[in-house]
Structure 1
Amino acid sequence: MKSRLAVLGVAALVAFAGCSGIGSSGTTSPQPTPDTTDVTDTTTPSQTDTTTQEAEPREFQSLSNASQAFAMEAIEDGEATALRTNLNDDLAPGMNWSTLQYQGTVYNVSWEFVGAVAQYKLANGSRVNASEVENTSTVVAYSNLSERAQRLFTDAQTGNESAWYGSETFPDRFQNYRFVEYQGDYYRILVYTGEFEQYRLSATPA
């Protein structure tokens, strides 16, 4: 009887020691520090986007109107390219489907990162004194601007920034001059430049 009680006592101590370790305040592994790096438009995405194919293809009519127009371009031409900021979430890189059905035909669709492209927009330029205009060669008269450039300038003066334009469509006058002469006053030209991700959507019959 004595030896049996001794064995039970040892077992109880072992069990107690094991339980006490669960709530002990021993050393823990350091937790990872959140990434606080600022995100900018110039971050480079991965070169490929993996998609998970569903058993049933996505119906063309289930897409938004803008996505339908973009998908139609890819179906007719085999591919279509757009800036990531111009794509709706129902048809964009990273989507979890890879087949699209249109008028009874199923298409395999996939995304490819093309690269970062420069975009430009005109900001609200402040009026300046004539004394700040040291060289008249840096001034363009409002009457010499194209209709698009005049519209962008007018919008900027009312406090609105223009839309983003590619280098081939942004008015050259705003790249080559620093001031606009308008109704006897001078306005400083402020051009914002940004880089945006561009993707290509391919569509081929399955």
Structure 2
Amino acid sequence: MPTRFALFGVVILALFAGCGGVGSPGPSGTQTTSKLTNTTTDIQTTTPTQDVGPREFQNLSNASQALALKAIKNGEATTLRTDLSGDLTPDMDWSRIRYQGTVYNLSWQRIGLVAQYKMSHTAHVNASEIGNDSEVITYENLSDRAQRFFTEARAGNESAWYDREAFPNEFHDYHLVEYQDEYYRVIVYTGDFEKYRLSATPV
């Protein structure tokens, strides 16, 4: 039967062993901290979890071919996440593509959010409801592009999403349009979309 002193010695050794394992720092702890810190930056690099070999360029969809070719020719190409098709995305499980006999490494970077604008529809407004004339612009003073947007909106057709430079400037400043002695409130949606950079480097 073990004595009381022997049992006490075993307990002391166990405590020392436990403290050494828990408190010792290591490279894995430092690497994990760095990785977590990097995820808070605006630019994030996406690396596939596994590489299943190079994909053939001709097997991609037409939209993916256009994006990949732009990256191959220029070294990189930017696009919105919503514009990507299913076979070429930041979460794909492959990282190489073969184009005209040359293999390229592909990598993705999330470079932030981009504001987009869409003309939805118009709502008829009574003249008595208009309190600030500075919000009103006449149809004749709209640019040709803005007139087309307005006409489509009056017909109930939504536009596509556009960035700020491509969306008609008038509808950034004016919310009411006077058209044939009637007033219409233009309904514009805004949204933030993820923007990515695709880089292609020959192997």
Fold equivalence (TM over 0.5): yes
Match of residue 29 from structure 1: none
Equivalent residues in 2 for 1:1-206 (5 A)?
47-51=44-48, 52-54=50-52, 56-206=53-203
1:137-191 C-alpha deviation (Å, 9 max, x unpaired):
2111112212221111111111122111111111111011120011221101221
The alpha carbon displacement at 1:46 in A equals 9.1
RMSD of aligned alpha carbons: 1.7
TM-score by length of 2: 0.76
Q: Matches of 1:166 and 1:183 in 2, distance apart?
A: 30
1:2-25 C-alpha deviation (Å, 9 max, x unpaired):
xxxxxxxxxxxxxxxxxxxxxxxx
Q: Please tell me the residue identity of whatever aligns with 1:202.
A: S
Q: Matches of 1:177 and 1:48 in 2, distance apart?
A: 39
Point out the structure with max Rg over C-alpha.
1
Q: Matches of 1:143 and 1:71 in 2, distance apart?
A: 43
Give the unaligned 5+ runs of structure 2.
1-40
The answer to whether the Cα contact below 8 Å between 2:45 and 2:109 also exists between their aligned partners in 1 is yes
Match of residue 22 from structure 2: none
Higher-helix-fraction structure: 2
Q: Matches of 2:145 and 2:68 in 1, distance apart?
A: 29
TM-score by length of 1: 0.75
Give the unaligned 5+ runs of structure 1.
1-43
Q: Matches of 2:42 and 2:194 in 1, distance apart?
A: 8
Q: Matches of 1:62 and 1:116 in 2, distance apart?
A: 30
1:117-146 C-alpha deviation (Å, 9 max, x unpaired):
111111212111111122322111112212
Q: Please tell me the residue identity of whatever aligns with 2:124.
A: R
The alpha carbon displacement at 1:45 in A equals 9.7
The alpha carbon displacement at 1:106 in A equals 0.5
How many pairs are equivalent? 162
